[in-house]
Amino acid sequence: MFRLLLRLMATFALAVAVIMAVLDVTRTIAASTLVLTPLGASWVSASPATLDAMQSFIIANAHPLVWNPVMTFILDQPGFAVFGVLALLLYALGRRPERRIGRFVVNQ
């Protein structure tokens, strides 16, 4: 059940990564130059209140250094890359283990 949830979240993250990549490709074609939208800019344009709430939550419940070097680095990366890596990690955590029965059986 937990693996199914992880694979479902990986699928959702991959869908968001593809949508963000299509938006960047569209903006790149329109501008005739490479456009990579940072995750922070996309988040601010979608919902600035939640970004502020997340910042205050992390600073209040974790060490303030978690926000400044770590989260600001992540928010400065292109959104499609962040969600692509997240999808890869979630899928790797939720993958089915390899079947061991019959692994060394010789087929005739």
Residue 29 in this model has a pLDDT that exceeds 80 = yes
Q: Which pLDDT score is estimated for 49?
A: 95
* pLDDT digit string, tens, across residues 51-63: 999 999 998 998 8
In angstroms, how far is the first alpha carbon of the chain from the final one? 37
- The answer to whether 21 touches 80, Cβ cutoff 8 Å, is yes
* pLDDT digit string, tens, across residues 79-98: 999 999 999 999 999 988 77
Q: Which residue has the tokens 């479902």?
A: 8
Residue 99 in this model has a pLDDT that exceeds 80 = no
Q: Structure pTM?
A: 0.83
